[in-house]
Amino acid sequence: MLSKKMEEALNEQLNKELYSAYLYLSMSAHSTNIGLPGFANWFMVQYKEEMDHAMRIYNYINEQGGKVKLKVIEEPPSEFKDAMDMFQKTLKHEQFITKSIHDLMELAIEEKDHATQIFLQWFVTEQIEEEGNDNEIIAKLKLAGDRGNGLFMIDKELATRVYIPPAEEGA
Ligand code: OFO
């Protein structure tokens, strides 16, 4: 059973996760457009993961007898300066999402909503991984520079990222 306040906050988060998916889909399209297929793959996998995050929240609201309310998804940017710009924007966005998850957790604690606290735990852990991945790629981009052979090598590496559906990762 969710309080109205918790239900609204979870619906807000559902919208943010859908926006994340939209943002990374846009970055995937841009990467294809500028001839970086490995980056396009990485962002496409990220898009699918964000859709999974959204569906986790969607299912949880339903399971708790709440009402899912879908809101307008903001238009993401479609032009980026270069690969570094995309990853800096990705990191900044993920830091915003981390803060949003922490605020949700604070609300669940305030409301003594133990079920939602347990539910959110997965997201707290996931955000550590998300920011870690972005920081790692930014560090590589800094080392390699944003063009030439270094960028080509990073593109090859990002091409190997594979999407794992939630059922297969035991979630
Ligand atoms: Fe859903 O973790 Fe990124 O936004």
Q: How far is the CA of 162 from the centre of ligand 1 (A)?
A: 17
Determine, yes or no, domain membership for 68.
yes
Determine, yes or no, domain membership for 165.
no
Determine, yes or no, domain membership for 27.
yes
- Give the nearest ligand 1 atom to 46 CA: 3
The protein residue with its alpha carbon nearest to ligand 1, atom 4, reads 20
Determine, yes or no, domain membership for 163.
no
**What percent of the chain has a predicted confidence (pLDDT) above 70?**
96
pLDDT above 90: residue 165: yes
Residue 36's domain comprises 4-74+82-158
Residues within a 6 A CB radius of ligand 1 = 17, 20, 50, 53, 94, 97, 130
Angle at 30 between CA 32 and CA 90, to 5 degrees: 120
Helices 4-33, 83-110: axis angle to 10 degrees equals: 170
Determine, yes or no, domain membership for 122.
yes
Listed range (48-62, 88-102, 137-151) with the worst mean pLDDT? 137-151
Tens of pLDDT along 101-151? 999 999 999 999 999 999 999 999 999 999 999 999 999 999 987 568 999
Return d(Cα 6, Cα 148) in angstroms, integer: 49
pTM: predicted TM-score of the whole model, two decimal places = 0.95
